[in-house]
Amino acid sequence: MAVKPKTRELAKQETREALIRAGMAAFTEEGVDLPSLDAICARAGFTRGAFYVHFKDRDDFFSAVVDQALRDFINWVISTGDSGDSRGGLSGVIERFFAALTEGRKLTDPHKLLMQIAARGVQRGGQAGGPYKILIRSAVERLTQVARQGQEEGVIKRDLEPEQLGLLLVASAVGFVVLFGGGLDHNLEDLRALCARWLFRSAPNSNRP
């Protein structure tokens, strides 16, 4: 069977994604300011001409990298999982987030980049803050939905306002990433237990009524 040729739009999208992924890798290895556009283009296998088809300048490109890095992290942490995932709901969110913090202490690549962005990258001028604000609002909305569902199922305490809970959890998550990225050392198991006592009517997976 003949392979269907790529459409022009699909090829453009793949080029854009390749440049963003190359930028994420370069920023992770060298920091958010050091890699040159030429080095990023070479890593992706494209020319500067291809770069400027998709991005106006370095700030526009950095904005796209921020968007993708935060989207990857938020989608992973806030994902409620498939029906077969026993870590679904807010309990799963908390477990995945603390797992990310634990890995972040070892500065694995994805979380190293996230910490760089959270600590100072999104504070740059230009358009970099736009995607960040959109993604944070999306994270708050998604956590609000998860919290409301947990209350309907009788898992999360009903005296917690879902919208305020969503905002507080997102603010805490961003703050923890920055603090631990800056070298704060604290017992994560204590923090995990505190979250469970605060949020849940009984400990997740507990047989207590």
pLDDT digits (tens, 9 = 90+) for 131-174: 567 767 877 888 888 888 888 888 888 898 999 988 888 778 77
Residues 6+ apart with CB under 8 A from 70: 114, 117, 131, 132, 135
- Is 120 found in the same domain as 77? yes
| pTM for the structure as a whole | 0.62
Q: Which domain holds residue 45?
A: 9-55
Residue 171 located in a structural domain = yes
Residue 1 located in a structural domain = no
Residue 2 located in a structural domain = no
Q: Find the CATH number of the domain harbouring 45.
A: 1.10.10
Q: pLDDT by residue (tens digit) across 37-52?
A: 999 999 999 999 999 9
In angstroms, the CA 186 to CA 72 distance is 26
pLDDT category of residue 125 using cuts at 50, 70 and 90: very low
**Of 27, 55, 16, nearest in space to 117 by CA:** 27
- Is 32 found in the same domain as 108? no
CB contact at 8 A, 51 and 41: yes
- Is 102 found in the same domain as 61? yes
DSSP letter for 36, please.
-
